[in-house]
Structures are given as structure tokens and as C-alpha cells.
Amino acid sequence: MTVRVRFAPSPTGLLHVGNARTAILNWLCARHYKGVFILRIEDTDVERSTPESELGIIHQLQWLGLDWDEGPGVGGTFGPYRQSERLHLYQEEAKNLLHSGAAYYCFCTKEELEAEREQALKEKRPPGYSGKCRNLTKTEQEQLRAQGRIPVVRFRVPEKPVIVKDLVQGEITFEGENITDFVIQRESGTSPYNFAAVVDDALMQITHVIRGSDHISNTPKQIVLFNALGYKTPEFAHIPMILGMDGVRLSKRHGHTSVEEYKNAGYLPEALINYLSLLSWSSETGDEILSIDRLIKEFDFKRILKSPARFDTVKLNWLNGIYIRALSPEKQAELAKPYLDDAGFIENDPLRFSKIVGSVRDNVETLADYPKHAQIFFKDIVEISGNEEKEIIKRESSQTIFRKLIQSIESTPVMNLESFQNIMKTIQKETGIKGKDLWMPVRIALTGQMHGPELIKILEILGRERCIKLLSAVVLK
């Protein structure tokens, strides 16, 4: 059996990181079993679905590196891959269920259904359809049609337990009597999610449905539909929801929630895939830095967690920083450039630009951090705003260091690691100033900060003239 899985987003907005995690797990599953990964666009929500959202989702999946074997832009034997182009298939299957007696026409108006619901609540019964149209005769149906009523099609739910054997959550039993007859075709001829998804999964020969645990309640309805239509039921795997660190379902109040936002904020796709995968399962080794190849190799339904995962931005930032520092210097410079350009930090010398990026690499966690740390190399005037920094600059010992350092740099033709170390050793020997008291004033004078890149890298990148200018600016007259 060839494993066939699908990711089926609704194009109603940006790709949420929770949905991205679902896509990642489906993709890893397909690649692990050398199966087929399908992208299907569920765009039957006409009012909310837009071509722009579909294109955005496709671009975000491509940025993550999740390639699909069948779907929009690729094609495939089981297309089309947009639900809006498959309505005739749903209508045909609904007709088959009507002919077999597994479905029936329901003529109840919205007002009648609402009245039923309110009555059930008054009687403290679960609200749901009563089934009053289940056994209408053809004559009764024609009379209702004559009144101008346009029927929906409802599925006749068998009154027996439905057992879901979930690969993650285990066995779950749903009592058939608690599942009321549900609509599979609206008055307009379109089909709701549960029916359309089942028809698509059946006709596309999906073997495994991997999705969020919020879909568990849909599963018994889908299983009885598979049975009634005569199709093989796929395996189900419901993965836990993603929560914020406060234990509440992840939302905008927790920060970024879409893949596009994380992309723009300077996260790497490999880091995001690594992190989102860890929210679902863990490696037997306990390793947290997992390459795409390892994620594919180690994918296992048995290791997927049952309980909700908490989205820890601090951990994601740590992981992303590791991935950034693992890039080649050339790639780091390429990725950092747009962020520095947008901040107005333009450097036309490729070698100097590469040195700037390389000097701050240990301090960044996202690509968007580069301007904050690299700004020291682009300013002609250093602003020393901290009270402690100002106090250090004013010390007599600091002033002595500045004067001697200026003289030494002026008389040194080439500033490199060796020459700078010799200069600082000489100043230490002549003044008796050492350690933090020797190095910190110089760092503050050149950057305005007490922390940052190695001091020799700062001097090398700034150059002799700018170093002299900045040091002279803090010498008290």
C-alpha cells in the first residue's frame, strides 16, 4: 500500500503555525514512507475564501520547503484539487446515498430548526435535529416542494456506536444516538465540510488523515459516511493543539501566529520546521536540533504526544539562532542584507559587509536582530546614554587610556589582532590599568554599549580614522 496523505487548508487568511505543523507532519509522514503528499484547497466557504489567500498559503508552504506530489500547480491523477471545482462529485455521491436510502430530503425551515433547538434546551436535551423528515412519503415531499420549500439532503445516521481507532489518541467510542442526522448537501447544492472532505479523501485514496485534535468530533460522522459510500476508511491521527505559555489556545495575543509573520520577522524555515515538529513528537535520542533528513527518518506515529503542546517563543528564538550561526558566512550576509538595508544601514563593500555580519552573528536570534547589533558600525557619532556607561567614560583612568590609545593607533599603520593586543599590553604596562577597567572604556567609546562583538573586530571594521574620531569624541577637554 502506498501511503497517501493530504494537507487541506481553507484559503481564508494566512497560514497559521498550527496548520503549518499539520502540513509538516503530513509531509514528513509521506517522505518517511516514500508515499504521496497532496495539497488540496478546501475553498467551499465562498464568502471567506480568496485567491490571494490561496496564493499566500502556497507561497508559505514553498518557503518552508514542503513540496507536494499532487495539487495546484502540479496536477495529478485524482484532480481537480480545489473543492470549488469538485461540486459535481459531491452531488453525485449525495445522489447515490439518496438512492440507497442512507440519506433523505429535509424540508425544515431555519425557523423550524431554531424552534426545535430552543425546545430541546428548555427540556434540557442536547440540541440537534429531531429527524422529522426521515420518513416523508413522496407525496408529502411533493406537497412541501409545492409550497416553495427547497430541501437540503441529510445523512441518516445509524443508531449504533462508532469506534475511532486513532493512531495518536487511542480508541474512542461515540454513541450513534448522540449524533443527529446532519446535512450533506445544502439548498444551494453545495456540500458542508464533513461530506466534501470524505468524498475527496475517498476518491483521492487517502490512507492517513493527520490533523488537529479539534477535528475529533467530526471523525465519527466521517466514518459512517465512508461506510455508507462503500469506501475504505483511512487511518486517523489527531495531533494535540498548540497552546500559548499561559495554557490558552495560541492566538494573536501571544504574538506572531502565521508563517508569513515568522518569515518576515527573520526566522529560518528549517528552524521553524524543527521547532514545530518538536511540538508534536520527540526523538528517541532526546536531541532537539534535528535536520530535515533526521525528522523524515525518525517520524513515528507512536512518538506523537497526546497532550497539548505549549509554544515557547524563547526556545524558538534559541533554536533559530543556532540555525543562523550554522549558515555559511556568505549565506548569512545574503539573508541579513534586506534587514540592514531596510534599517538604512547600506554597505557597498562586500568584504566589509561580510565582516560586519560575521562580527554580530553570536548575538542574533533572528535575521531581524542584525540591525540592532550592527548599528554600531554605521554611526559616525556614538550616543552614550546609560548612566553607568557615562560614569565609566569620565573616569581619569579611562581618559588616560583614550589618550594613549589614540596616539598608538595614529602611529600604527595597520590595525590587526596582533598590533591591537600589543598596544593594549603596552598601555596596561605603562598605566597599571588592567582587566575590565582597561577594555570596557574602549568598548563604550567605540559602540556606546557595554556588550557586543569582540573589540578587535570592532576596531578592524571601523578602521583607524573612525576609531580615532570616536575616541577623540570622548576625551574631556
CATH superfamily of 86-239: HUPs (3.40.50.620)
Could you give the percent of the chain with pLDDT greater than 70? 99
Confidence band of 225 (pLDDT split at 50, 70, 90): very high
List pLDDT tens digits, range 258-282.
999 999 999 999 999 999 998 888 8
| Whether pLDDT at 254 is above 70 | no
Strand 162-166 relative to strand 170-174, pairing: antiparallel
Q: Which residue has the cell 508563517?
A: 259
Q: Which amino acid is at 288?
A: E
Which residues make up the CATH 1.10.10.350 domain(s) of the chain? 387-473
In whole angstroms, what is the distance from residue 361 CA to residue 357 CA? Answer: 6
Q: What is the CATH number of domain 328-374?
A: 1.10.8.70
Give pLDDT tens digits for 397-414.
Answer: 999 999 999 999 999 887
Q: Looking at residues 111-117, what average pLDDT do you find?
A: 92
Q: pLDDT tier at 22 (50, 70, 90 boundaries)?
A: very high
Give dist(CA 334, CA 121) in Å, integer.
Answer: 62
CB 470 within 8 Å of CB 382: yes
pLDDT in tens, 171-222: 999 998 889 999 999 999 999 999 999 999 999 999 999 999 999 999 999 9
Residue 251 scores a pLDDT above 70: no
pLDDT at 188: 93
- Which residue in this structure is represented by grid cell 507532519? 25
Question: Nearest Cα to 82, choosing from 60, 58, 59?
Answer: 58
| Start-end of CATH 3.40.50.620 domains in the chain | 1-72+240-326, 86-239
Alpha-carbon distances, residue 78 vs 89, 103, 230 (angstroms): 12, 26, 18
**In which band, very low, low, confident or very high, does the pLDDT at 161 lie, cut at 50, 70 and 90?**
very high
Residue span(s) of the chain under CATH 1.10.8.70 come to: 328-374
Q: What is the CATH number of domain 387-473?
A: 1.10.10.350
Q: Indicate whether 68 pLDDT > 70.
A: yes
User: Cα separation of 460 and 467, whole Å?
Assistant: 9
Spatial distance between the Cα atoms of 11 and 45, rounded to a whole number of angstroms:
9
Question: pLDDT tier at 252 (50, 70, 90 boundaries)?
Answer: low
Where b means 16+ CB within 10 Å and e means fewer, 29-42 reads bbbebebbbbbbbb
Answer for the pair 299, 29: CB distance below 8 angstroms, yes or no.
yes
Q: Of the residues 34, 122, 124, 252, which is catalytic?
A: 252
pLDDT score for 54: 96
Average pLDDT over residues 144-148: 95
475 to 151, 381, 445: CA distances (angstroms) = 88, 14, 9
CA 393 – CA 31 distance, rounded (Å): 59
Per-residue 3-state assignment (H helix, E strand, C coil) for 192-260: CHHHHHHHHHHHCCCCEEEEEHHHHHHHHHHHHHHHHHCCCCCEEEEECCEECCCCCECCHHHCCCEHH
Q: What is the pLDDT of residue 334?
A: 96
Q: d(Cα 36, Cα 321) in Å, to the nearest integer?
A: 33
Reported as a pLDDT band with limits 50, 70 and 90, residue 255 is low
Question: Is 252 part of the annotated catalytic residue set?
Answer: yes
pLDDT of residue 281: 85
State the pTM of this model: 0.89
Contact present, 67 and 273 (Cβ < 8 Å): no
pLDDT tens digits along 325-353: 999 999 999 999 999 999 999 999 999 99
Task: Convert 283-348 into a string of H (helix), E (strand) and C (coil).
Answer: CCCCCCCCCHHHHHHHCCHHHECCCCEECCHHHHHHHHHHHHHCCCHHHHHHHHHHHHHHCCCCCC
Could you tell me the CATH superfamily of domain 1-72+240-326? HUPs (3.40.50.620)
For residue 80, cis peptide bond before it (omega within 30 degrees of 0):
yes
**% pLDDT > 90, the chain:** 80
Residue 92 has pLDDT above 90, yes or no: yes
Helix (H) or strand (E) holding 437: helix 436-447
Contact 129, 76 (CB under 8 A): no
Specify the higher pLDDT residue, 246 or 411: 411
H/E segment holding residue 171: strand 170-174
Per residue in 364-380, pLDDT (tens digit) is 999 999 999 999 999 88
